[in-house]
Structures are given as C-alpha cells and as structure tokens.
A = this chain, B = another copy of it.
Amino acid sequence: MLISFLSDSVRPQAEEIFKGLKNQEFHKLIQAGVTHKYKKGEIVFREGGIPSGIYYLSKGHIKKYKFTSSGGEQIFYICGAGELLGYHSVLGGGVYADSAATISDSEITFIPKEAFLNTLASSPEFTLRFMKALGNEFTLFKNAIATRATYSVKERLAINLLILDEKFKKSKRSANGALIILSRTDLANIVGTVKENLVRVLGEFKAKGLIKINNGSIQIINRGGLIKRASL
C-alpha cells in the first residue's frame, strides 16, 4: 500500500513523459526556449495570469500553490529538477489556476506556447506520451485530496516528509535521508496546518528519533518509524 502510494506520489513526471523522446522532440523543445536563473523566492507565474508558454525546471525547486481567502497559501505540489510547469493552463486555454515560486535558487527554461503546441500537433507519439502523463498526474491529485481529508496533521506530516525526501534526494544520491530544506511556513502550507503546530509535531518526531534537524533542514533517520506514523 505504501509502496504504490509513494511511487505514485513522487513519480518524476516530466522524466517519465520524455523517456525515449529525449533525443528528438524533447530537446528541440527545450532548445526553442530561453533559460533564466531565478533566485530563491521569485515568482515564476501568478494565479490569474495569462499563460504564454510552459516552463522546464532544470535546476532547483518550485512550489505550486494557491492563495487562500485568509491571505495564506496552500501548496499542493513541489516540483523538482526535470519537471515541466504551466502546461495545464496552456492546454486548458484559460488563465493560470495556481501560482509558482522558486523555493531555492533555480534554473528555468521558458518554452513559448507555440513551440509546445506545434510539437503536440506534429508528433502523435509525443502527444500520446503526454496524455499518459496527464492521466497519471490525476492520481496524484486524487491522492492529495484523500490524504488531506482523511489523515491527521501528524500523519500528513509523516507522509509529506517521505515524499519530500524522495523529491530532495534526486539532487544528491545517498543512503541516508535527503536534506529537506524548506521554511517552516512552506512546510506547514504543504501539510495543511499552521507553522506553530508544525513545529510541535516536528519536535515530537525529533524526540522519537524519526528525524534529525540541522540548521533548520530536516533529515529522515528512521524511515520505518515514519512510515508507521503515517499509517498508510
């Protein structure tokens, strides 16, 4: 149960999509774009804005979120290197349904709408793979909704730490847990709670030897215990 859930949740989408295409349409697409460096905390696109292209994240991490009525933000996805952003809205034809901002220094390639749509129009195989990825992406959202609705804050934090560990591991392979570098506010907005409560639960996990905290960055040291805590 956990295995399938986690593999669904952390599947590196863009890489799956372009597996086998990397030498053809994919590289053409990336090369049709312009690459820019972003500092931590910069906004890539804004909810309500008009999409003019899609983004390829070659380095760094990006949070995707919506603003809440009370002024806070609800993060529902963290992008890692190798993933695409913004294609939902380009496909849908409306405005951006969410905002995207870097949470670490990043490198992002902007690919104009036309290049993306042309690739779709000219390559049925590319399109098929893309649709497959979209189909799988829905699973992530369904899981996210079910998780948020069902589990307690403690369980949600455990689940999200396991997911984030996978997300942050990609940059540096190691046997130990990855360094999860994230502000308390951001992590709280991922888990769906307030930062005060998050800190408490984090402290509890630390006291039980599930995680380690250095300089604010979190590291899993007892994956099994965390999985049990998540009661998946």
Q: How many copies does the complex hold?
A: 2
* A149 CB → nearest B CB, Å: 4
A227 to B121, CA, bound (A): 42
Known: A74-B149, A92-B138, A138-B141. 20 other contacts (CB 8 A): A66-B145, A69-B231, A72-B150, A74-B150, A88-B135, A91-B131, A92-B132, A92-B136, A93-B136, A98-B142, A120-B128, A120-B131, A121-B124, A121-B128, A130-B131, A131-B131, A138-B138, A141-B141, A141-B144, A148-B149
Q: Assess A142 versus B97: contact at CB under 8 Å? Given A124-B121, A131-B134, A232-B69.
A: yes
* Contact-residue size bin, chain A (C-beta under 8 Å from the other chain): 35 or more
Return chain B residues, CB-CB under 8 Å to A94. 136, 139
Contact of A135 among B93, B144, B231 (CB under 8 A): B93
Sampled A-B contacts (10; CB under 8 Å): A66-B143, A68-B150, A69-B231, A76-B146, A93-B132, A93-B136, A94-B136, A97-B138, A121-B128, A131-B131
